[in-house]
Structure 1
Amino acid sequence: MSELSQHACEACKIDAPRVTEEEISAYRKQIPEWQIVERDGIMQLERAFTFPDFKQALAFTQRVGDIAEEADHHPALLTEWGKVTVTWWSHKIKGLHKNDFILAARTDEVAT
């Protein structure tokens, strides 16, 4: 269990600050398999998880959905045969917030 996953998510308002470069560097050390991608000028955290079949990929998708509902913060989920791509970002601030890194760490935990 990572230290990051134990942090509490906070309500993200439209004026919430995006993470700084220093924070990104520190948080990424705890979630090294996640990539930062940029789409339409918006930084996002993304990772693809592989599974031996669709049933296990779908079960993982549900587990991620459960942690998302619990935190009231929702990722993009692409579920395919043997693969789930999870993308976290904060829609209200159009970028990355600490919550995204916390939930990426929690996603890693439900993958094991």
Structure 2
Amino acid sequence: MSDLHQLKCEACQVGAPAVTSSEAEVLLADLPFWKMERRDGIDQLEKCYRFKNFKQAWAFADQVAELAEAEFHHPTITLEWGKVTVCWWTHAIGGLHRNDFICAAKTEKLLSD
């Protein structure tokens, strides 16, 4: 993994620049199994994590929630039995910002710590 997980999210407001498709491609190369999805016209980063049971999935979802609060950047977290799906995107710009890739990298790091 790159050093992306070591960066801090910057404050992002309406009008902040979205990543270009070429920037997104480069950043995505450092995020194994993450994919870009387009929902309701909004590009998002998504990854599904699998666990042995609900309790492990729940614990991971809690870690992602703590990360989101620490970065003040909040994803969609879907918790199911043995599965957590995380979607990062920047609400203020209706698309992907560098912050989303930073948070995706930090999400990956949660499993290796």
Verify same fold: TM over 0.5. Answer: yes
What letter matches 1:80 in structure 2?
E
What one-letter code is carried by the residue in structure 1 that aligns with 2:38? E
Deviation at 1:29, TM superposition (A): 1.2
C-alpha displacement of 1:111: 2.4
Task: Return the letter of the residue paired with 1:110.
Answer: L
Structure 1 unaligned regions, length at least 5? none
Q: Which letter maps to 1:91?
A: H
Q: C-alpha displacement at 1:17, in angstroms?
A: 0.3
Q: Share of identical aligned residues, percent? A: 50
- Segments of 4+ in structure 1 off by > 4 A? none
Residue 29 of structure 1 corresponds to: 29
Cα distance, 1:2 vs structure 2: 3.2
Between the aligned partners of 2:79 and 2:32, the Cα distance in structure 1 is 22
Q: CA separation in 1, counterparts of 2:32 and 2:59?
A: 23
CA deviation after TM superposition for structure 1 residue 36, in Å: 0.3
Alpha-carbon deviation of 1:32?
A: 2.4
Deviation of the 1:37 alpha carbon: 0.3
1:105 is paired with a residue of what secondary structure? Answer: helix
Q: Which one is further off, 58-67 or 21-30?
A: 21-30
Q: Secondary structure at 1:45's aligned position in 2?
A: strand
- TM-score after normalising by structure 2: 0.95
Give the aligned partner of residue 19 of structure 1: 19
Say if 2:83 is the partner of 1:83: yes
Letter aligned with residue 75 of structure 2: P
Query: Post-superposition shift, 1:5?
Result: 0.7
* TM-score where L is the length of structure 1: 0.96
Query: 1:95 and 2:95 equivalent?
Result: yes
User: Is the partner of 2:43 in helix, strand or coil?
Assistant: strand
